[in-house]
Structure 1
Amino acid sequence: SNGVYQIGLPVGKVFALLFMTLIQLTMGPLFAAPRNATVAYTVGVAPLLPKQFQGSGLIVFTAIFFVIVFVIAYNESDILSSLGKILNPIFLVLLFLVFVIAFARPLGNLGTVPVSKAYAQGTIVKGFLEGYNTMDAL
């Protein structure tokens, strides 16, 4: 088939259209996009805010986040060059800093850290399932 619509077409045109629409909504506005905003907020902004501003901070951050996403994604033909010119250098510098800091000041000795109960047995399966839950498997 040439797409999701044609995969569902043998069942019927209504099903194919519904199937295609639900897949696109799930990958975009219903699951992936809100998750991206909440993860970015939880990791980057929430630790800096007092407890009483967590809810309103999430609303403000989400609005700003999606305005920036819309501005970048509005012109489809420019999206790769926009992201490549802006985000790639920032990402590379931050990744380099993470490695430098991790090697210069490790949080502890790996030989003395006990294995968590969840990963004591079935490590590969547990890691795969946790990765799948965070959309890494997609």
Structure 2
Amino acid sequence: GARKSDQQIRLYNKLVEQKNKQKPIPAGVESWARLELQLRGKKPAEWLNSATEMLNQFKLANLQMISAKDRAILYALTHDIIEWQEISVATRSKYRKMIKQSDGFETELANEMKQVLADNLDELQAELNGYLADFDIQK
């Protein structure tokens, strides 16, 4: 989402960030990413639904599962090599449907993140209540 939107997803390459800051990298770490979901203007009761909607869009490519042609086109589309408007409406529709249905994409990590959020919602609410109390802010 845009900087001022109510919802944003940010994905950082944490490994590059740590190397640039000359911070120690834990042994055996070859890739390291950080995913942030920002939910502005949302009540804690709405967090789970909003985050679930956002995480439903988070997919990791696993293009080896599909045909070479589809793999090449999806790779090009998802890496900005081909622009969506450069392909026909029917082709665009086909590949948008594949992405929506996660054909060639894995959703296991997003599903796990949704479960972790659901499991920790009460703890997050308690932490937020603590911050509100520290600053004497009424709900």
Query: TM-score, normalized by length of structure 2?
Result: 0.25
TM-score by length of 1: 0.25
Could you say which structure has the higher helix fraction? Answer: 1
